[in-house]
Amino acid sequence: MYSFEPTEEQRMLIDAVQRYAINDLRNAAHDADESGELPQTLVEKGWELGVLQASVPEAYGGFGEHSAVTGVLAAEELAYGDPAGALAVMAPATYALPVLLAGSEAQKAALLPPVIGDTWKPYTAAFIEPDFDFYAGDMRTKARKEGQGFVIDGVKAMVPFADRAQGMVTYAALDGKPQAFVLPPKAEGVTVGEREKLLGLGALPAYRVQFESVRLGQEAWLGSSPTNDAAPLIAASHVATAALAVGLSRAAHLYALNYAKEREVFGAPIAQKQSIAFMLAEMAIEIEAIRLLVWEAAWLLDTGKDAARAAYLALSGAADMAMMVTDRAVQVLGGHGYIREHPVERWYRTGRGIPTFPGLAMV
Partner 1 sequence: MISFEMPEKIQQTVTLMTMVAENMMRPVARHFDEHEHEIPWDYINFMHDANKQMGGGGFVPSSEKPKKSESGEPKKEGPRIGYQRLAYSAEVLSWGDTGLYLCSPVGLLGAAAVAATGTPEQKARFLTRFGGDKPVLDAMALTEPHAGSAMPAMVRTTAVRDGDTWVLNGEKIFVTAGHKALVDTQGFVVVWATIDPSAGRAGVRPFVVEAGTPGCAVTKLEHKLGIRASDTASVVLQDCRIPFENILGSPQVEKKTTEGFKGAMATFDASRPMVAASALGVARATLEMLKEFLAQKGITVRYGLPRSRMTNIERELIDMEVMLRSTWLLVLKSVWMMDEKKPNNLEASMGKVRAGDAVVKITQKAVELLGPVGYSREHLLEKWFRDAKINDLYEGTGQINRLIVARRMLGYGRTELS
Binding mask 78-117 for partner 1 (x = CB under 8 A): ----------------------------------------
Which residue in 104, 166, 228, 272 binds partner 1 (CB under 8 A)? 272
8 A C-beta contact, residue 280 and residue 113 = no
For 177-313, list the strands marked E by DSSP: 177-183, 190-195, 206-216, 264-265, 268-269
Q: Would you say 95 or 299 has its CB closer to partner 1?
A: 299
Q: Does 277 bind partner 1 (CB under 8 A)?
A: yes
Those residues whose C-beta lies under 8 Å from the C-beta of residue 106, and which sit 6 or more positions away, are 219
Whats the size of the chain, residue-wise?
Answer: 363
Q: Does 259 bind partner 1 (CB under 8 A)?
A: no
8 A C-beta contact, residue 4 and residue 292 = yes
Q: How many CB atoms lie within 10 A of CB 85?
A: 28
Q: Does 357 bind partner 1 (CB under 8 A)?
A: no
8 A C-beta contact, residue 240 and residue 230 = no
Q: Would you say 9 or 146 has its CB closer to partner 1?
A: 9
3-state secondary structure of 13: helix
Q: Does 65 bind partner 1 (CB under 8 A)?
A: no
- The Cα 117–Cα 7 span in angstroms is 26
Residue 19 CB, shortest distance to partner 1, in Å, is: 21
Q: Does 264 bind partner 1 (CB under 8 A)?
A: no
Which residue in 105, 133, 194, 262 binds partner 1 (CB under 8 A)? 133
Q: How many CB atoms lie within 10 A of CB 257?
A: 19
Report DSSP letters for 137-183, one per residue. Answer: GG-SSEEEEETTEEEEEEEEEEEETGGG-SEEEEEEEETTEEEEEEE
Q: Which stretch binds partner 1 (CB under 8 A): 103-111, 217-225, 255-263, 340-348?
A: 255-263
Q: Does 64 bind partner 1 (CB under 8 A)?
A: no
Residues 294-313 that bind partner 1 (CB under 8 A): 295-296, 299-300, 303, 308-309, 312-313
Binding site for partner 1 (CB under 8 A): 1-7, 10, 69, 132-137, 234, 257, 260-261, 271-272, 274, 277-278, 280-282, 284-286, 288-290, 292-293, 295-296, 299-300, 303, 308-309, 312-314, 316-317, 320, 355
